[in-house]
Chains A and B, each alone.
Chain A
Amino acid sequence: MATMIEVRKLDLHYGDFKALHGIDMEIEENEVTALIGPSGCGKSTFIRTINRMNDLIDSVRIDGEIYYGGENIYDDRYDVIELRKRIGMVFQKPNPFPMSIYDNIAYGPRIHGKKNKAELDILVEKSLHHAALWDEVKDRIHSPAMGLSGGQQQRLCLARTLAVEPDVVLMDEPTSALDPVSTAKIEDLVHELKKDYTIVIVTHNMQQAGRISDRTAFFLNGYIEEFGTTDQIFFNPVSSKTEAYISGKFG
């Protein structure tokens, strides 16, 4: 198994506040890497550095390197558009665009120059299948996406991400706004998707991390307290703080 993404000595500042301290991490291909930790520990901030979503915030300053495909994505000449195409993201709150289901999914491919109707049709259907949403929406793919339930909206957002055919899917607490049934569906999907994609998922829910991930990183106060296979982190943690968090003593 190959390393997909390599993070080296990554620091991040919001203005004067240092939110991430010297993060080092390897993300392996076709695995699920979970990022856990208490609120404000930097896990969401970190996942957003992987596809440079933090570029949208003015006050953010980043030092260090993230290697993807052999190149440092923080290099001045790096193509951010291409990066976000290859490393897609599903956000905490379902954020479908105010347009039809079809147009939501075709949005990315169209942006990247795919105009052929027949090709788009196939891609939309394939993406909806991948996100396990096709059966529920196949009769109304031209109706507004806003009419879907929260769980369906989140799977739509996943389908929208998959439609640009990325290598990596980042998920920032994708189930925190969903009910248990929808959450279970997303978890099943993650399990299914790792055959074809590399997945990084931020989660507040430790059981979830335990169920779906291969590796787990425990973040605390902007540092990685411990990073290893999920079995090791959950059953044989090295750090006493990891153990305390895993066993529910704080968080």
Chain B
Amino acid sequence: MNKVRLMGERVMERFLMICALISIISVLFMTVFIFKEGLPLFKHVGVADFLFGSQWDPQGDNPLFGILPFIVGSIMVTAFSMVIAVPIGLAVGIFMAEFAKGRIADVLRSVIELLAGIPSVIYGLFGYIAIAPVVRSLTSSNTGLGILTGAIVLAIMVLPTIINITEVSLRAVPSHLKEGSMGVGASHWQTIVKILVPAASSGITAGVILAMGRSIGETMAVLMVAGNSPTMPRGLLSSARTLTMNIATGISYASGDHWISLFTTGMVLFVFILVLNIVVQVFLKRSIEKDS
């Protein structure tokens, strides 16, 4: 009897370990294949010409593979989406953790869950039909499609991430800290600003960076609303192409070096995401250490 149970334990343990290995191997394979497909571009194109070239003309007689406009596009769209999403996300997260009660809290929570579950192509449609016209009518933009519109759509997309992690981090702050603050006569709001948010800051920062990763990696929604012109963006209203858009745009017809360059673009994106993830790990680790 005892032996059988011990066997069962061992089998289960192995099974779980194999599942864990599968996910590790997937990441490994993905990395290897993208680099294997992407690196050969550098036989024909210099690394600096690729990363810092500002001309993209992969099918010309004298093909040019400068992705700097897309790197700049990605960074601009992501940065502006954060400028919009972080303050709103923080505010809603604080509201949910500290103020929302009863029905309002329930409704809000399910709406935010829904927001997180909507496919990005729907965000794209919404941005195209609802946000672009507003941007067009309020600004000098001709089409309304560009960095600003892309950033607004992305901001709405990543809001649930920021809201949820802000709420969870604030709820994780031990209640005796709140009592200590209120006990010396601090108001609820003073307690939030001076005690709760600082105590939750590592977690909140991790959430913001996670949202940044989603934002920089998002493809479909920005493809539909950011204009997709392969030139260097000139400002907030300028039409732009991001790294993700470059891959998605070329994949259906590219061949030769152009085809390879899409994987090389993927490599660059991969490095961006990797760096963001490492930063998240550092912050999460710090927040765990702070709690103990």
Contact = CB atoms under 8 A, between A and B. Distances in A.
* Chain B interface size, under 10 / 10 to 19 / 20 to 34 / 35 or more: 20 to 34
B183 interface: yes
Contact of B180 (A83, A112, A157): A157
Contacts of A56: 178-179, 182
Contacts of B183: 51, 53, 84, 88-89, 91, 161
Contacts of A98: 177, 198-199, 290
Contacts, number: 63
Interface residues of A, number: 26
B182 A85 contact: no
A51 B185 CA distance: 10
Given A58-B101, A107-B194, A111-B190, A95 B184 contact: no
Q: Which of B178, B182, B290 has the most CB of A within 10 A?
A: B182
Interface string B155-189: 00000000000000000001011111111111100
B184 A111 contact: yes
B125 interface: no
Given A91-B176, A98-B199, A98-B290, A107 B185 contact: no
Contacts of B185: 81-85, 108, 111-112, 164
Interface of A: 51, 53, 56, 58, 81-85, 88-89, 91, 93, 95-98, 107-108, 111-112, 157, 160-161, 163-164
Contact of B177 (A82, A83, A85, A97): A97
B195 interface: yes
Nearest to A161: B184
Can you list the 7 inter-chain pairs with the closest CB atoms, starting with the nearest? A108-B184, A85-B185, A95-B176, A84-B185, A95-B180, A89-B183, A111-B186
Interface in B45-71: none
B123 to A, nearest CB: 36
